[in-house]
Structure 1
Amino acid sequence: MRLFVGLELPPALLHAIGELRGGLPDVAWLPPETYHLTLHFIGAVTHPHLLEEIHHALSAIRATPPVLRLDGPGLFTPTRPNAPDTLWVGCAPDDTLMTLREKVRKGLNRAIPAGGERNSRHFAPHVTIGRMERPDQARRQRWLATTLPATEARTIGHFTLFQSIRHTDGPFYEPLEHYPLHF
C-alpha cells in the first residue's frame, strides 16, 4: 500500500479552494474531497511490521496544532517532457506547521529502514487542485493571477496517515489513522 502523512482540511478551506475550480479550460480538476496538505510521502509499504513502526513513530509526535492560511495559487511545471503542470493553492508556512512537518519527517526517517523513501526535499506547503495539459504562457499567467476567496486561518487539530488508492477516475485517499495534536 502507498502511504503518506497529511492534514485534512476543514470545510471552510475546502469550500474556498473548491471555488477556484473551473477558472481555466482544459484542466483536470481534482474533486474537493481529495484536497489535503501532504506533510510527508512515505511510499509503498509491503510489510505489516513496518506499518506498525510507522504508527508508533506518528503516535509519539507531540506538537502544537498548526494554523493554515491560504496563500495564493501557484503551479509546478514538470521536468518530464509532455507532463502536465500541477495547479495548487499555497498555505503560508506557519512556524507550527513547519515544526510539525519536521517532527513527522524525523520520526518517519527513524522508523523506516534505509531502503524507504527519505523525503527530505524542500517543503512547500500546498494543496494540489488540478493538472493542466500543455498550457501556454498566457494560461499560466491567468491562473497565477486568480484571486482567492477571503478565508480566515484555521487551526488543525490532528494529522492523518493516509493510504493512496489509484482508481481509473482518479486517486482516492483513505484515512487510516488520525493523530491528535495538543497545545
Structure 2
Amino acid sequence: MRLFIGLELPPALTHALAGLRGNLPDVTWSPPESYHLTLHYLGAVTHGHLLEDIHHALNAITAAPPMLRLSAPGLFEPETHHGPDTLWVGCAPDAALTHLQQRVRATMNRLLPGSARATRRFVPHVTVGHMQHPDPLRRQAWLAAMPPMPEGELVGHFTLFQSLRHADGPVYDALEHYPLQG
C-alpha cells in the first residue's frame, strides 16, 4: 500500500480552495475531498509489521498544533518535459508546522530503509490541480489574481493516509489520526 503522512484541511480552508476551481481553463482540478498538506511521503509499504511500526512511531510524536494559513499560489513544473504542471496554494510559514514536519521526517527516516528516506526541501502547499500544456499567459494571470483567503486555523491532529489509485485520480483514505497538543 502507498502511504503518506499529512494534515487534513479545516472545512473553511477546503471551501476557500474549492472556490478556485473552474476559473482557469484546461485544468484537471483536484476534488476538494482530496485536499491535504503532505508532511512526509512514505511510498509503498508492503510488510504488515512495518505498518504497525509506523503507527507506533507516529503515535509517539509530540508537537504543538500548527496554524494553517493559505498564502500565494504556485506552480511546480515537471522535472522532465513530459507530464502536467501542478497548481498549488502555499501555506504561510509557521514554526509549529515546520517543527511537526521535521519531527515526522526524522522519525520516519530512523524507521524506514534508506530507499524510503525523503530529502526534498519542505514546501508546505495544497495541490489544487494539474495542467497539461498550459497557456503561459492564462496561467500567470491566474497565479497573480488570487482572491483573499480566510484566516488561518489550528490543526489538532496529523494523519496517516493511504493513497489508492482510481481511474479518476488518486483517492486518499485516512488510516489513523494522531493528536497534537501544545
Is this contact kept in 2: 1:66–1:97, CA < 8 A? yes
Deviation at 1:46, TM superposition (A): 0.3
CA RMSD of aligned residues (A): 0.9
Q: Secondary structure at the match of 1:22?
A: coil
* Amino acid across the alignment from 2:80: R
Is this contact kept in 1: 2:160–2:174, CA < 8 A? yes
Is this contact kept in 1: 2:24–2:139, CA < 8 A? no
**Residue 111 of structure 1 aligns with which residue?**
111
1:72-151 correspondence runs (5 A) = 72-115=72-115, 117-151=116-150
**Residue 152 of structure 2 aligns with which residue?**
153
* Cα shift readout 1:70-113 (whole Å, capped 9, x = no counterpart): 11211111122231110001001200000000000000111112
Gaps of 5+ in 2: none
1:6-21 correspondence runs (5 A) = 6-21=6-21
TM-score normalised to structure 1 length: 0.97
* Amino acid across the alignment from 2:69: R
Partner Cα distance (1:134, 1:10) in 2? 32
Q: Secondary structure at the match of 1:170?
A: coil
* Cα shift readout 1:146-180 (whole Å, capped 9, x = no counterpart): 22333011000000000000000111000000000
Q: Secondary structure at the match of 1:167?
A: coil
1:17-32 correspondence runs (5 A) = 17-32=17-32
Partner Cα distance (1:109, 1:57) in 2? 11
* Cα shift readout 1:11-42 (whole Å, capped 9, x = no counterpart): 00000011111111110001100000000000
Deviation at 1:140, TM superposition (A): 2.2
Gaps of 5+ in 1: none
Q: Secondary structure at the match of 1:159?
A: strand
Partner Cα distance (2:145, 2:72) in 1? 8
* Amino acid across the alignment from 2:178: Y
* Cα shift readout 1:99-142 (whole Å, capped 9, x = no counterpart): 00000000011111234x10121000000010011013202211
Is this contact kept in 2: 1:73–1:146, CA < 8 A? no
